[in-house]
Chains A and B, each alone.
Chain A
């Protein structure tokens, strides 16, 4: 009798403390969890969070962030995976605890290279933004206090003096609103996401932020803290990686974020240089077709184009020797003499193949990477044509490629709705002459592989790649940089455990 009473008492006390631990449905993840958990929980929490972040990523390119569709789909996923999503839901403790722990586990997997860190931060920020926007006004105040973000509001006199500038720099506000709202003087560094897109007035290293834009400030703060934390985590990683129980899981987690990354060449040497022109028309996605044509026309490509196209060619099976021959023969026709090519460009091609410098074997860019980073400027031909080309020019190009007018209209509609990968999928359907693309496109090399499959008659069953590294990848030291350079444990017991994980990471 006494035991059970004691137990109940203890449980109630524990419950009270639990409330204190997670007073809000969202947090900045400043303190790592300090309890013990089972390996099973460790794995499951991490996998669930990774699934969630991948959904966040996909929804982010398919829908406008913050739109109703986006929010409802994200909410569905969050509920399904049992993460916290509503501030006022009672008994949210388990979900919040899972949120807390899973975040810190994924930090371990995603701190190891610039690419991984960037991806992780981006998805965590999008997730945070969604949850923050679900907070009502009262809770916003409470949360801001909780995370110590209080900036000084400007006086009425100052606001009057700056009224015109404030009106012109803050979109969506009328003169009356400017008068009504509080404006906060925020140091430049804290308002990065706002001034970056010129949505705020800057004067003498301060940004003047209306209270309606505070979410951007909070996000900025969140990003800065997370970025610093990841850098610190990277430094303490060797200790974690030495734990044999964790190493295989962490490695597999960070591998999976781009799915098959085409770093391991499956068809080495099967492409012949004579066929590249024909291949570029038949099987290259539009971005690579464009780059190839620019290279042929100008006998030159700038750095961004060389990287994007060069790595793509590596991914389709071009050997280092072929690549050197290909680029050299083209550049020589231009302004570059053989000597200069050997000294400069050849070095960087070998670098891409992992034969120089850090000897990292670079991975071909995924669609996400091409769409979201390094936009092209004057003189560049890289990027995603559906994202970066003028719609008029894109239309003309598609017309010149004999795409039927209805198809072009459909593509342009998708582009207008910012569904760039869907537009490319449409392009695939129209050029390969199939009704249904049959896969979800997120990598140019995937486009090529699928096209080749069709042309060679029939698709094979897709196998999830989990082979050990090829001899091409460098292994001289424990330098942890690129995701593909992390060795998968050769422990067979761990491998059988991983087989189950494969199922989680299959692409649709």
Chain B
């Protein structure tokens, strides 16, 4: 979707916030059924405005008020923070130490730059269809663990708009997790450790924990296509030397000798596997796959209860792409480069066909209703649908819980 100029944001944002942003489901999401007193009102938002002006501790009395403010300020970027003990906008009226972050979704941020040492097609902010597979793998691995191991029911995966994905875990109990608990979850999910000073970043020892074996079985099907063909990690001596550095010393020499005789990465990988068979109990094969493919999480994003993260449906100021939810049922087909940009969406609005006679738009019609139909005219529609389903699931689940509780208490 070429044709996005960051300079056009001031013109496009007002249109986006007036007619496209899905305030309905968004407000329902963050209200969480209005079960807890003033939950929405105590939530922190931050806006990045024109000229890099950044305002924190924004809070609102209702989703409608938030909507009005967004339409007034037309922020370049919106972040969602924690639910505090008091309304953030009134924190100065509160005793020091009494203003605390209390709850927040557990969030994950997976950024393509963290894989720069193992991807050859792109670096830093660039992404392409070849390396995007890393995100697909990351989502599969993390999501399985969240659901099966941590028992999570409500999570939303979102494209960040440029080079990664975010995950929002919204279960009631998880929102109450302490920093220590969040850090523990990240540690559980971490297998790739070490900075630039570490050569071998994955070290497996027996026994292999079920988390690792489950993850490996999710990574393996992608490995040949992604790493051997796409990234060609054994394609040249420069790249296979890095791989050979990860196998036991006893095997290195013979591999380096025999690799040039093979035709391509696939053949060389077969050779490596054969050599490794005689080299038990080493797990080098798995370790290589994991070092090249396993998700890399940023613990600092997940750990803090008060950490602010880019909101779903926020626009990325550099790429113009909207931060859209990812449909897990269609994960393989997700293409970040096909995600609509704000300029594309505004164009679509302009060129949308007129309403039929029976449903002609008129000024008297309330905004929200008009808007519900507006986004449907654009490429944003399927993404909003995913978001709506996510919110509906939570509503349903909440109703179920309430029913259970009232049954137990004998309320009829």
Q: Chain A interface (Cβ within 8 Å of chain B)?
A: 165, 167-169, 171, 188-189, 192-193, 195-198, 201-206, 223-224, 227, 231, 234-235, 237, 290, 294, 303, 343-344, 374-381, 383, 385, 388-390, 392-394, 477-480
Q: Min CB distance, A213 to chain B, in Å?
A: 14
Partner of A205, one of B151, B195, B196: B151
Known contacts being A171-B207, A204-B148, is A378 close to B188, with CB within 8 Å?
no
Bound-complex Cα distance A203 to B211 (A): 10
Q: Min CB distance, A218 to chain B, in Å?
A: 16
In the complex, besides A169-B207, A192-B180, A223-B180, 15 extra interface pairs with C-beta distance below 8 angstroms are A165-B210, A171-B207, A195-B184, A195-B188, A196-B188, A204-B151, A376-B197, A377-B296, A378-B114, A378-B116, A378-B194, A379-B113, A388-B197, A393-B199, A477-B96
B212 proximity list for chain A (CB < 8 A): 198
Partner of B195, one of A193, A198, A381: A381
Segment 62-99 of B: residues with Cβ below 8 Å from A: 95-98
- The 10 A-B pairs at the shortest CB distance, nearest first, are namely A205-B151, A376-B195, A196-B184, A202-B149, A389-B197, A380-B195, A204-B151, A168-B207, A198-B209, A192-B184
Q: Flag whether B198 is at the interface (Cβ < 8 A).
A: yes
Verify A227–B180 contact, CB threshold 8 A.
yes
Residue of B nearest to A201 (CB): B210
Verify B200–A390 contact, CB threshold 8 A.
yes
Known contacts being A197-B187, A477-B96, is A189 close to B195, with CB within 8 Å?
no
Q: Min CB distance, A172 to chain B, in Å?
A: 9
B254 proximity list for chain A (CB < 8 A): none
Q: Min CB distance, A120 to chain B, in Å?
A: 14
B1 proximity list for chain A (CB < 8 A): none
**Chain B interface residue number, banded:** 35 or more
| Interface 1/0 per residue, B189-205 and A, CB below 8 Å | 00011111111110000
B201 proximity list for chain A (CB < 8 A): 378
Bound-complex Cα distance A197 to B187 (A): 7
| Interface 1/0 per residue, B131-152 and A, CB below 8 Å | 0000000000000000011110
Known contacts being A168-B210, A379-B116, is A479 close to B197, with CB within 8 Å?
no
Verify A202–B211 contact, CB threshold 8 A.
yes
Known contacts being A204-B148, A377-B195, A383-B195, is A167 close to B184, with CB within 8 Å?
no
Known contacts being A192-B181, A223-B180, A478-B96, is A379 close to B207, with CB within 8 Å?
no
Verify B197–A390 contact, CB threshold 8 A.
yes
Verify A393–B197 contact, CB threshold 8 A.
yes
Partner of A378, one of B98, B117, B200, B209: B117
Q: Flag whether B178 is at the interface (Cβ < 8 A).
A: yes
Query: What are 22 A-B pairs at a CB distance below 8 A?
Result: A167-B207, A188-B150, A189-B177, A192-B180, A196-B188, A197-B188, A202-B211, A203-B149, A204-B148, A204-B149, A204-B151, A231-B100, A237-B97, A377-B114, A378-B194, A378-B296, A379-B116, A379-B196, A385-B197, A390-B194, A390-B198, A393-B199
A380 proximity list for chain B (CB < 8 A): 195-196
Partner of B97, one of A189, A203, A234: A234
Bound-complex Cα distance A389 to B195 (A): 8
Residue of B nearest to A167 (CB): B207
Bound-complex Cα distance A202 to B296 (A): 21
Bound-complex Cα distance A381 to B197 (A): 8
Bound-complex Cα distance A343 to B198 (A): 33
A167 proximity list for chain B (CB < 8 A): 207
Partner of A189, one of B181, B197, B199: B181
Number of CB contacts from chain A to chain B under 8 A: 117
B300 proximity list for chain A (CB < 8 A): 303, 374
Bound-complex Cα distance A381 to B200 (A): 16
Q: Flag whether B397 is at the interface (Cβ < 8 A).
A: no
B114 proximity list for chain A (CB < 8 A): 377-379
Bound-complex Cα distance A326 to B83 (A): 39
Residue of A nearest to B176 (CB): A189
A383 proximity list for chain B (CB < 8 A): 195
Grouping DSSP codes into helix (H, G, I), strand (E, B) and loop, the B interface class, with mixed when no group exceeds half, is loop
Residue of A nearest to B180 (CB): A192
A171 proximity list for chain B (CB < 8 A): 207
Q: Min CB distance, A210 to chain B, in Å?
A: 14
Residue of B nearest to A357 (CB): B56
B180 proximity list for chain A (CB < 8 A): 192, 223, 227
Q: Flag whether B213 is at the interface (Cβ < 8 A).
A: yes
Verify A389–B198 contact, CB threshold 8 A.
yes
A237 proximity list for chain B (CB < 8 A): 97
Verify B199–A390 contact, CB threshold 8 A.
yes
Q: Min CB distance, A482 to chain B, in Å?
A: 13
Known contacts being A343-B52, A376-B194, A378-B196, is A479 close to B96, with CB within 8 Å?
yes
Bound-complex Cα distance A167 to B210 (A): 10
Segment 112-137 of B: residues with Cβ below 8 Å from A: 113-117
Bound-complex Cα distance A377 to B202 (A): 12
Bound-complex Cα distance A169 to B150 (A): 15
B113 proximity list for chain A (CB < 8 A): 379
Q: Flag whether B35 is at the interface (Cβ < 8 A).
A: no
B95 proximity list for chain A (CB < 8 A): 235
Verify A227–B194 contact, CB threshold 8 A.
no
Bound-complex Cα distance A380 to B298 (A): 12
Verify A235–B187 contact, CB threshold 8 A.
no
Bound-complex Cα distance A294 to B198 (A): 15
B151 proximity list for chain A (CB < 8 A): 188, 204-206
Bound-complex Cα distance A477 to B117 (A): 46
B115 proximity list for chain A (CB < 8 A): 378
A377 proximity list for chain B (CB < 8 A): 114, 192-195, 296, 298
Bound-complex Cα distance A377 to B115 (A): 10
Q: Flag whether B364 is at the interface (Cβ < 8 A).
A: no
B150 proximity list for chain A (CB < 8 A): 188, 202, 205
Residue of B nearest to A164 (CB): B210
B197 proximity list for chain A (CB < 8 A): 290, 376, 381, 385, 388-390, 393-394
Bound-complex Cα distance A236 to B212 (A): 45
Bound-complex Cα distance A390 to B113 (A): 22
Q: Min CB distance, B333 to chain A, in Å?
A: 29
Q: Flag whether B208 is at the interface (Cβ < 8 A).
A: yes
Q: Min CB distance, A297 to chain B, in Å?
A: 11
Most buried by A among B114, B149, B151, B195: B195
Bound-complex Cα distance A353 to B116 (A): 33
Verify B198–A388 contact, CB threshold 8 A.
yes
Verify B97–A480 contact, CB threshold 8 A.
yes
Bound-complex Cα distance A389 to B192 (A): 14
Bound-complex Cα distance A389 to B150 (A): 32
B177 proximity list for chain A (CB < 8 A): 189
Bound-complex Cα distance A151 to B50 (A): 55
Partner of A375, one of B98, B148, B193, B196: B193
Verify A388–B149 contact, CB threshold 8 A.
no
B208 proximity list for chain A (CB < 8 A): 168
Residue of A nearest to B199 (CB): A390
Bound-complex Cα distance A389 to B201 (A): 11
Partner of A392, one of B181, B193, B199, B213: B199
A192 proximity list for chain B (CB < 8 A): 180-181, 184
Bound-complex Cα distance A197 to B197 (A): 23
